[in-house]
Amino acid sequence: MNNNKELIEGILELKRQKHAVILAHYYQIPEIQDLADFIGDSLALSQRAKNIESPLIAFCGVHFMAETAKILNPDKKVIVPDLNAGCSLADSCPLDRFEEFLGEYPQHTVITYINSTARIKALSDIICTSGNAVQIVESLPKDEKIIFAPDKNLGGYINQITGREMVLWDGVCQVHDLLTAEAVLKLKMQNSDALLVAHPECNRAVLEIADYIGSTNGMIKFVGQHKGKKFIVASETGIVHQMKKIAPENEFLVAPANETCSCNDCPYMKMNTLEKLYKALLTESPEIIVDQDLAEKARKPIDRMLEISKKAGLI
Ligand code: 13P
Ligand code: SF4
């Protein structure tokens, strides 16, 4: 198969034969977003993955997302197009250093961003995503001592809006953290009628000039509520595909990282291709395997996140 049309037909046929479900994150290439059974941000994908009844889940995102799906629905086979599709945030938090860090802050509740490995989740009290971090933090008493890992930009933003002083792990997303306020401001000056929407993984300087800060779902909803407007999007490029579908009359400009580059592609998300997805469905591999004992430990803080999100009306 050498063209997209044939590959898409092949993928849909294999999906039918194997009763598979394709889940995709908004940062996937448009072709994968368009053929997925369900597309969402990290929170929506976790919720969806937990309730899937099909025997085979093809997860088009990055490793921690597929691993979370496997933890939440362990009896299903979870396959991915590329096992090497990781995440710089998850990589920034290796187990040995995290254990040492926890030892430095005894009696702290550990809130961990979903962009982390199962081993890190297993050492955490509650998981959060960018879509529920405020509600998760605010579900704890005001005087509770909290460690937040691994994204210091998201953690700093949550500290600011909740008035907490959580201890932050020093990790960043290599895609969002690279966006500079200088380059964004320059684009804003050239487009004074544009609203700036930003993901909370962006650095503080970018967040300070944003008109709206929110998760991937949050940003898509926001642009959909402002028809006929122009937006500067400080996030990964894949999100613009859904924004254009929801609000085709809007204009979208991708926030630049610097003078020469406005290519905010997550190198990991973009490892997934139609060809790799086709092969994954054909061979039912590579498969995500999580040790049962580890999965049980990691599931508790994820379930706690889902419970709080449900109570808060987020899912
Ligand atoms: P969302 O939780 O908004 O889907 O973000 C996930 C992510 O990896 C952002 O870089
Ligand atoms: Fe990880 Fe950043 Fe890619 Fe999201 S965009 S998957 S946080 S590297």
Q: What is the pTM of this model?
A: 0.95
What is the number of structural domains in the chain?
3
User: 250 and 305: one domain?
Assistant: no
Per-residue pLDDT of the chain (315 residues; tens, 9 = 90+): 669 999 999 999 999 999 999 999 999 999 999 999 999 999 999 999 999 999 999 999 999 999 999 999 999 999 999 999 999 999 999 999 999 999 999 999 999 999 999 999 999 999 999 999 999 999 999 999 999 999 999 999 999 999 999 999 999 999 999 999 999 999 999 999 999 999 999 999 999 999 999 999 999 999 999 999 999 999 999 999 999 999 999 999 999 876 666 568 999 999 999 999 999 999 999 999 999 999 999 999 999 999 999 999 998
Residue 153 CB less than 6 A away from ligand 2 = no
Nearest to 211 by CA among 190, 188, 180: 188
Nearest to 169 by CA among 183, 155, 181, 180: 155
Helix (H, G, I), strand (E, B) or coil at 199: coil
Q: Which ligand gives the minimal distance to the CA of 151?
A: 2
Residue 66 CB less than 6 A away from ligand 2 = no
Residue 288 CB less than 6 A away from ligand 2 = no
Residue 129 CB less than 6 A away from ligand 2 = no
User: 249 and 183: one domain?
Assistant: yes
Beta-carbon contacts of 107 under 8 Å, excluding residues fewer than 6 positions away, are 145
Q: What is the CATH number of the domain that holds 230?
A: 3.40.50.10800
Residue 39 CB less than 6 A away from ligand 1 = no
3 state SS for 220-264: HHHHHCCCCCEEEEECCCCHHHHHHHHCCCCEEEECCCCCCCCCC
- Ligand 1 binding pocket mutation candidate from 23, 26, 27, 272 (most atoms within 8 A of CB): 27
CA 77 to chain centroid, in Å, comes to: 21
Domain span at residue 305 reads 89-172+297-311
User: 51 and 76: one domain?
Assistant: yes
Any domain includes 264:
no
- Ligand 1 binding pocket mutation candidate from 28, 41, 88 (most atoms within 8 A of CB): 41
Beta bridge partners of 233: 197, 254
Residue 195 CB less than 6 A away from ligand 1 = no
User: 93 and 168: one domain?
Assistant: yes
Residue 201 CB less than 6 A away from ligand 1 = yes
Residue nearest ligand 1's atom 2 by CA: 42
